[in-house]
Amino acid sequence: MKSKFVAYWIATTVLCSVLIGGGAANLGRTWGTLNAMRQLGYPPYILTILGVWKELGGVALLAPRFPRLKEWAYAGVFFEMTGAAASHIVCGTPAWNVWVTLGFALLTLISWALRPPSRTIGTIFAPRAESERI
């Protein structure tokens, strides 16, 4: 159980570092992020929208309590990362862009799956009653 707890915090810390750092880069409109948005065909103002949501998502995942907010943050991060991967595929950017964003999507799933009970809304699948087992 302790190894699961440690793995959760490693995955979550890395994920939140990526979110908060990436959000700051988006909000600062650094050359790399601005160039990437132009290459993908998105308007520069999308950096502000993504930057704000990444910052808020990173904080939500680290903050204690608020399990429903965490569920929304995990979903948003997963959608953003898989959407970024799809954008890279469609625009034909180098393959490493796709793999990095899919890696972050996988890290999101790992953090979500390993979270402790205090950070969940409830169980996904209720245990089956004895009478239902065959």
pLDDT average, residue stretch 12-33: 96
Distance between CA 29 and CA 64 in Å, rounded?
A: 30
Considering the entire predicted model, what is its pTM?
Answer: 0.86
pLDDT band at 35; cut points 50, 70, 90 = very high
State pLDDT tens for residues 36-69.
999 999 999 999 999 999 999 999 999 998 999 9
Position 124 scores a pLDDT of 60
Position 1 scores a pLDDT of 75
Residue 130 in this model has a pLDDT that exceeds 90: no
Half-sphere exposure of residue 88, counting CA atoms within 13 Å on the CB side?
17
State pLDDT tens for residues 81-108.
999 999 999 999 999 999 999 999 999 9
Tell me the average pLDDT of the chain: 92
Distance between CA 69 and CA 67 in Å, rounded?
A: 5
Q: Where are the domains of the chain?
A: 2-114
**CA 108 to centroid of chain Cα atoms:** 5
